Amino acid sequence: MSCKKCVEKPVIKLINSNKTLCKNCFIEYFEKKVKKTIADYNLIDKNDHIIVAASGGKDSITTLYLLNKIFSKRKDVKITALAIDEGIHGYRDKSLEHLKKFCKKYKIILNIYSYKKEFGKSLDKILKTYNGVPCSICGVFRRYLLNAKSRELGATKLATGHNLDDETQSIVMNYFRNSLNVSARLGPITGIIPDKKFIRRIKPLYFLTEKEVTIYSFLMKLLDKFNECPYNHDSYRGKIRDMLNDFEAKYPGTKHGIITTFIQLLPILKEHYKKSNYIKECSSCGEPSSQEKCKSCQYIDEVIKPTL
Ligand code: SF4
Ligand code: ZN
Confidence of residue 3 (pLDDT cuts 50, 70, 90): low
Is residue 202 within a helix (H) or strand (E), and if so which, with residue range?
A: strand 200-202
Which residues of 3-150 form beta strands (DSSP E)? 10-13, 20-22, 49-53, 78-85, 110-114
CA of 232 to the centre of ligand 1 (A): 6
Per-residue burial over 243-256, b if 16 or more Cβ lie within 10 Å, else e, is ebeeebeeeeebbb
134 Cβ closer than 6 Å to some ligand 1 atom: yes
Ligand nearest to the CA of 238: 1
86 Cβ closer than 6 Å to some ligand 1 atom: yes
CA of 187 to the centre of ligand 2 (A): 25
Q: Is the pLDDT of residue 226 over 80?
A: no
Phi, psi of 230 (to 5 degrees): -65, -15
Give the DSSP letter of residue 303. I
Ligand nearest to the CA of 297: 2
Ligand 1 pocket check: which of 121, 127, 130, 135 to mutate, most ligand atoms within 8 Å of Cβ? 135
CA of 147 to the centre of ligand 2 (A): 12
CA of 85 to the centre of ligand 1 (A): 11
| CA 9 and chain centroid, separation | 32
pLDDT digits (tens, 9 = 90+) for 167-225: 999 999 999 999 999 999 999 999 877 788 899 999 999 999 999 999 999 999 998 67
pLDDT at residue 126 in the model: 95
pLDDT at residue 105 in the model: 96
Which residues lie closer than 8 Å to 115 by C-beta, 6 or more apart?
Answer: 84, 85, 86, 87, 121, 122, 123, 126, 141, 145
Q: Would you list the DSSP string of 25-65?
A: HHHHHHHHHHHHHHHHTT---TT-EEEEE--SSHHHHHHHH
The closest residue, in CA terms, to atom 4 on ligand 1 is 229
CA of 48 to the centre of ligand 1 (A): 29
CATH architecture label of 10-274: 3-Layer(aba) Sandwich (3.40)
The closest residue, in CA terms, to atom 7 on ligand 1 is 135
Ligand nearest to the CA of 231: 1
212 Cβ closer than 6 Å to some ligand 1 atom: no
Ligand 1 pocket check: which of 169, 229, 295 to mutate, most ligand atoms within 8 Å of Cβ? 229
pLDDT digits (tens, 9 = 90+) for 92-142: 999 999 999 999 999 999 999 999 999 999 999 999 999 888 999 999 999
Is residue 289 within a helix (H) or strand (E), and if so which, with residue range?
A: strand 288-289
Average model confidence (pLDDT) across the chain? 92
CA of 290 to the centre of ligand 1 (A): 23
Ligand nearest to the CA of 130: 1
